Structure formats: C-alpha cells, structure tokens
C-alpha cells in the first residue's frame, strides 16, 4: 500500500476524531490508534474512555504522550493505518517539559519524516487554535503560535486535509 497522509483539523468538539476514525475504518487493513492524551484528571479519564468505547475492539491502541515519531517507526510494516489523535495534545505534552521552540520544531520535522516513511496510511488529528482572540498571556500565545506552525508543516506534507466545523468535514486539500 502506498504511503498516504491525511490531516484533520478543526475546533474543539468539531467532530475531528469521529471523522478521522470513520476515515480509517473505511480503509482496509490492520489499524492502530496512537493516543497522546494523558489521563491527568477525572475529566480526561472520561474523555479517553469515551474515545475507547467509540472505537471498539477493531483497533490496537498505543498511548504515547511524547515519543510519537519513534512509535510510528516501530509500527511501520505492522499496520496499514495509524490514526494519531492528537498532535496539539502532543505539543502541550512537550511544552510541559520546558522544551525550547527549536527543539519542538525539530520534533515536528522528525514526526513528518516518520509519517512519510510509514508505508501505509497516516491520519493526523489536530486542533485549530488560531481562529479566536489573541491570548492574554505569553504561554498561551506561544502554544497558539507553535500549534499554527505545526499544523502548517503537517498540512503541507499531507496528501489530503480536512477542516471540520459543527461536525461537517470540508476538504481543503
């Protein structure tokens, strides 16, 4: 199977994950779900459980908050489809460890290299965080800016890109 990258973005609760999961389900082959969320509080535990139940047993799930590119390399050849949900949580996980911007952008480039080399279908979910007001603090502005750069880089590398609003997917690439 030829390598193909899908980029799925949109706002919070826009339907990104459900759309990405359906897209993956429509592709033949063994599927893996690469989750970057960490169950750090009761609300995140509930969100993670909701996603697990919706996916059912047709997926192998890997939880990896940081070493995402490395995991893609390990999964290459074992799966036809890997869904990464989501890269903005991955970004916040990295930022929480006080990594500098150049190190973060290097990780983004490494992830793109791993996606391109995967050999199957990669579906990447990300939040679009740049459509609102300018955040009132430096950390939030840094996150917004890095997320915007991350989204641009992955979208440029993707074969197809979708923006979701109110549960409606719009193909943008």
> Which residues are catalytically annotated?
51
How far, in Å, CA of 144 to CA of 18, rounded?
24
Helix orientation angle between 16-25 and 42-55, rounded to the nearest 10 degrees: 30
Other beta carbons within 10 angstroms of residue 158's beta carbon come to 21
Q: If we measure between CA atoms, which residue out of 1, 3, 2 comes closest to residue 115?
A: 3
- Residue 18 neighbours by CB distance under 10 Å: 14
Q: What are phi and psi of 81, to 5 degrees?
A: -140, 130
Nearest 5°: the CA angle 114, 65, 106 is 45
């Amino acid at each position: 199977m030829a390598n193909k990258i899908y980029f799925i973005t949109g706002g919070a609760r826009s339907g990104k994950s459900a759309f990405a999961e359906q897209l993956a389900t429509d592709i033949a082959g063994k599927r893996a779900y690469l989750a970057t969320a960490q169950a750090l509080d009761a609300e995140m535990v509930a969100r993670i459980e909701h996603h697990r139940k919706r996916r059912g047993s047709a997926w192998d799930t890997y939880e990896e908050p940081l070493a995402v590119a490395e995991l893609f390399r390990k999964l290459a050849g074992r799966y036809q489809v890997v869904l990464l949900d989501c890269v903005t949580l991955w970004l916040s996980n990295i930022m929480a460890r006080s990594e500098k911007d150049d190190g973060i952008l290097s990780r983004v480039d490494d992830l793109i290299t791993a996606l391109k080399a995967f050999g199957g279908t990669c579906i990447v979910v990300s939040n679009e965080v740049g459509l609102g007001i300018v955040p009132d603090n430096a950390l939030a502005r840094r996150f917004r800016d890095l997320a915007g750069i991350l989204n641009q880089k992955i979208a440029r590398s993707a074969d197809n890109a979708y923006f979701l609003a109110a549960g409606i997917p719009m193909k943008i690439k």
